[in-house]
Chain A
Amino acid sequence: MVQGPITQLLRRRAAGDPAADAALAPLVYEALHALAERQMRGERAGHSLTPTALIHEAWLRLAGEQALEAADRAQFYALAARRMRQVLIDHARRRDADKRGGGAGALSLAALADAATPVDGIDALALEQALQQLESMDERKARVVELRYFAGLEMGEIAELLGVSRMTAHRDWEVARSFLRVQLGG
């Protein structure tokens, strides 16, 4: 079966090829960007989407009708999760800057971030700060949060991606969540 270029890029990235990562980033960015534009045109009015749902839509857009393997899909989600995390932080910073009267960039990504802002009452900046703290102590646990919260991956997929047992991934998640709960004052 002929595989599309994105599949090849994802596989090269999985194999640790930095060039693949560099090539993929704009693709993902583009997909997210397109979504944001659609969002601005009000195509999805009345629906608030979670980051996970957005990534999922981006994936559908990129992968199209191709029959892709679960491992490729997981690779993509892992990549997009990192992007999405960045998008959310940028947006939160910009929002705060706006409040202080700073210049408002008319970036379409702002609309995307608006759409993707979690409505579970979690402050994106506080979460980012706590995540960075967790990263400094135990990087893998922060990674699990990224994959679980931002990309919405299943524990089995996360375990596979990180090369650990499902049990370990699950415990990482439990530990990270308890840590974040403490840090976010929950």
Chain B
Amino acid sequence: MDARALALFEQALTRPPPDREAFLRAQAGEGAVLDDALRLLRAHAVDDGLLEPSTSRELPAEIGGWRLLRRLGAGGMGEVHAVEREQAGFVQRGALKLLASGLHSPELVARFHAERRFLAQLEHPHIARVIDGGTAADGRPWVVMEHIDGLAIDQWCRQRALGVGARVRLFLQVLDAIDAAHRALILHRDIKPGNVLVDAQGQARLLDFGIAKSLADTGAALTATGSGPLTPQYASPEQLAGRALTIASDVYSAGLLLHELLTGRLPFDFGQRSLAEREALLRTAVPTRPSNALDGGALALAPRELPGWRRSLAGDLDRVLLKALAADVDRRYRSAGAFAEDLRRWLELRPVEARSGDAWYRARLFVRRNRLAVASASAALLALALGLAIAAQQARVASAQAARAEASSRFLMALITDANPVASGREPTLRQAIDQAVQRIPEHFVDQPDSEADVRLGIGLAYTSLMQLDEAQAQLERALALRAPGSAGHAEVLQAQALLEWTRGRTDAAERLYRAALAAYAADPGRQHDAGEVENDLAALMNDLGRFEAAIPLAESAVANARALALDAGVLGARLENLGSALQGVGRLDESEVAYRDAIAALEQALPQKTVALAVALNNFALVYRDRQRPQQALALFERAIALREQAFGADHGDLAGPLINAARLRAGLGQVERARADAARALALAEKAFAPDYVGRGHVHLGVAEVALAAGDAPAAARHAQAALDVFARADAADPAWSERAHALLRQAGAR
């Protein structure tokens, strides 16, 4: 055999198993070398234990009354045999683990007994039970465990072609077992696919507590081994570093297991790296988002199935996995139970804990601004006052109702007039006016609960816009108490509360409130317009959460509603824009383009009121063009979006930073380097003025500046801004890891110049 075949085969082994054959075919030119290499690859797949040292070839026929049937395998500490015994007239099967001879150092024997002791403490449906144990004639300790006729969990998932949800449910059994062990103060320390068997009934069992450790046991025998982990691929960073292990280490290893079940591979390919190098890599590297790391071959997925699989992972599951796999122990799930709880939230379509804080949510807003109508506090109040005035005019039949609407409207109009926003600055004055108005409400609306509710609702919305969230909550709670549950008026308050919760980043509460409001409106034939509005709000919420599949039917229904009721162009345009965004999110770009075009046409009819909404639609539509590699068209749309924003807010508004940096990146790609650098510099100046230092949007702008600098050949500036971006992402909780990845890539490119 040729040495080249051997060398090629060795290289192939550094690749994932499904890629190896293709690699050899691509690399080995000649026939003979390729043939030899392929023979080696086939020989590698044979698992016959050839030359594997087994210390005792001739075992006794039985040990401790158990008949030895066949060798199942050899583990880190000895051999495992299938055994059976007859007891009380029935045959009991088991797996006998025998410590290898020549290995019975006191330390290993102690470990072996420790495993038996640990397992005896654990009674759990998903942990293999200990049936028996003892010491063989030659002094070797043995233990018999429950026999599990099953497959390793990864093989089982592949064989049954389980979908994402089914894999998560199966994995939850494993987490429950780990959690039970932790509650008994036992760490497993060697969680990997081969240690989880699944039987024909789909029940998973956690095996091999061979290197388990009791958290309560401080005895040196079990800890002072100084040896590395038995299975480095599944070890946590702290395990590789040889530091003290905690339940967080098992959480990490379990995260790796789930990563493998969901993507077909582990997050990092360590190649030939040593343990120390791996440890350093794990500490600094950011894993690729799992949804972008799918190995279709390992998952046995057809190419057409990949996009759907990716979509199921994208968003919440990505976040859950990355939280479990955080290098920093403090950022990981606190327990296997917390990890499991978040997965159950995902299964029940509830927002996951991994989306903690609102940084992520704000990050999304940076590009896809929230499309809600509430632009400013005074606008909120004005809209309500005008609405009430119109209602009062129309409600001539029911004069009591008209009187009520008029009273509320007058109060709110007075409030706005008092604040005199045109003459004297803006929000601070309005804020004071509202604070004073709130004091006057009790005396003004004696025995007029309906009017009082109108006014408190309007003020609650205004406070929300002013980010006075506690004040808003107090007003909305009182308004809600004044309205009859199940009525449309009640639903109006729920809708306002939903917006408040969303603003706070409590998206699960927001969703629940929107759904309650929707149910109330839907039951009232006179409030179909409002039902459509709530559907639109919900679609916007889903879009911001990355749950585009859920957003699509809601946005479609909201658009159909606007068309059926012939609502004005501005409303239709805003709803179409949400639809376009949702379709864009799932990659249905053709349909997304149609929705955006219709949205822009409608919003143009609604100018000047819809200036901001139009700018948002243009910006998002430009992103579709950018994704489709049509930079010229995308640039033209960005330019228009920028011009509209300048018109609406002036040239120094922070909201301009996003579209400006997007335009700069496109220009850099088109070779318009000077203009790109000017736009990038302007975007950065605006972002530094308008954004908090830990706001991800600021990091995004730094990234863009770095990209443009690199295109202009200014490597030092590129490196500086890529680092600045990383600093922001490190501070911003839950920043999208893809951005950090991008920053690292830019740093490397800048370093290579």
Q: Are A167 and B40 in contact (CB under 8 A)?
A: no
Any B CB within 8 A of the CB of A12 = no
Q: Which residues of chain B from 99 to 152 have any CB-CB distance to chain A below 8 Å in the complex?
A: 101-102
Given contacts A47-B58, A178-B40, A182-B39, contact A152 B1 (CB under 8 A): no
Q: Are A178 and B9 in contact (CB under 8 A)?
A: yes
- Stretch of B48-56, B334-342, B397-405 on the interface side: B48-56
Contacts of B43 in A (CB 8 A): 178-179, 181-182, 186
Q: Which residues of chain A from 172 to 186 have any CB-CB distance to chain B below 8 Å in the complex?
A: 174-175, 177-184, 186
Give bound CA distance, A32 to B102, whole Å.
16
Give bound CA distance, A118 to B13, whole Å.
29
Interface string of A146-186 (1 = CB under 8 A from B): 00110010001000000001111001001101111111101
How many residues does chain A have at the interface if contact means C-beta atoms less than 8 Å apart? Answer: 34
Question: Closest CB-CB distance, B723 to chain A, in whole Å?
Answer: 31
Question: Closest CB-CB distance, B136 to chain A, in whole Å?
Answer: 13
- Stretch of A21-29, A35-43, A50-58, A91-99 on the interface side: A50-58
- Stretch of B195-203, B267-275, B740-748 on the interface side: B267-275
Any B CB within 8 A of the CB of A65 = no
Any A CB within 8 A of the CB of B3 = yes
Question: Closest CB-CB distance, A30 to chain B, in whole Å?
Answer: 20
Given contacts A165-B274, A174-B13, A186-B46, contact A179 B54 (CB under 8 A): no
Q: Which residues of chain B from 39 to 77 have any CB-CB distance to chain A below 8 Å in the complex?
A: 39-41, 43-44, 46, 48, 50-58
Question: Closest CB-CB distance, A184 to chain B, in whole Å?
Answer: 8
Contacts of A48 in B (CB 8 A): 57-58
Q: Are A166 and B275 in contact (CB under 8 A)?
A: yes
How many residues does chain B have at the interface if contact means C-beta atoms less than 8 Å apart? Answer: 35
Give bound CA distance, A133 to B273, whole Å.
28
Question: Closest CB-CB distance, B625 to chain A, in whole Å?
Answer: 46
Q: Are B101 and A53 in contact (CB under 8 A)?
A: yes
B278 (CB) vs chain A CBs: closest residue: A167
Q: Are B9 and A177 in contact (CB under 8 A)?
A: no
Given contacts A50-B56, A186-B43, contact A177 B102 (CB under 8 A): no
A183 (CB) vs chain B CBs: closest residue: B1
Partner of B53, one of A47, A50, A182: A50
Given contacts A48-B58, A174-B13, A179-B6, contact A167 B50 (CB under 8 A): no
Q: Are A167 and B56 in contact (CB under 8 A)?
A: no
Partner of A178, one of B44, B54, B274: B44
Any B CB within 8 A of the CB of A138 = yes
Any A CB within 8 A of the CB of B435 = no
Give bound CA distance, A122 to B49, whole Å.
12
Q: Are A167 and B273 in contact (CB under 8 A)?
A: yes
Any B CB within 8 A of the CB of A1 = no
Contacts of A178 in B (CB 8 A): 9, 40-41, 43-44
Q: Are B232 and A166 in contact (CB under 8 A)?
A: yes
Q: Are B1 and A119 in contact (CB under 8 A)?
A: no
Q: Are B53 and A175 in contact (CB under 8 A)?
A: no
Give bound CA distance, A175 to B102, whole Å.
27
Any B CB within 8 A of the CB of A2 = no
Question: Closest CB-CB distance, A126 to chain B, in whole Å?
Answer: 12
Q: Are A120 and B57 in contact (CB under 8 A)?
A: yes
Any A CB within 8 A of the CB of B10 = yes
Any B CB within 8 A of the CB of A74 = no
Q: Are B40 and A165 in contact (CB under 8 A)?
A: no
Any A CB within 8 A of the CB of B227 = yes
Contacts of B52 in A (CB 8 A): 148
Give bound CA distance, A67 to B10, whole Å.
39
Give bound CA distance, A148 to B9, whole Å.
21
Contacts of B232 in A (CB 8 A): 166-167
Q: Are A156 and B227 in contact (CB under 8 A)?
A: yes
Any A CB within 8 A of the CB of B486 = no
Given contacts A53-B101, A181-B43, contact A186 B48 (CB under 8 A): yes
Give bound CA distance, A174 to B40, whole Å.
10
B226 (CB) vs chain A CBs: closest residue: A70
Partner of A168, one of B46, B58, B272: B272
Any B CB within 8 A of the CB of A137 = yes
Interface string of B272-291 (1 = CB under 8 A from A): 11110000000000000000
Contacts of B272 in A (CB 8 A): 165, 167-168, 171
Give bound CA distance, A91 to B53, whole Å.
20
- Known contacts A152-B55, A167-B273; 8 additional CB pairs below 8 A are A52-B53, A56-B55, A122-B50, A165-B275, A171-B13, A171-B272, A182-B36, A182-B40
Closest 5 CB pairs of A and B: A152-B53, A165-B274, A56-B102, A181-B43, A137-B3
A residues at B contact (CB < 8 Å): 47-48, 50, 52-53, 56, 118-120, 122, 133, 137-138, 145, 148-149, 152, 156, 165-168, 171, 174-175, 177-184, 186
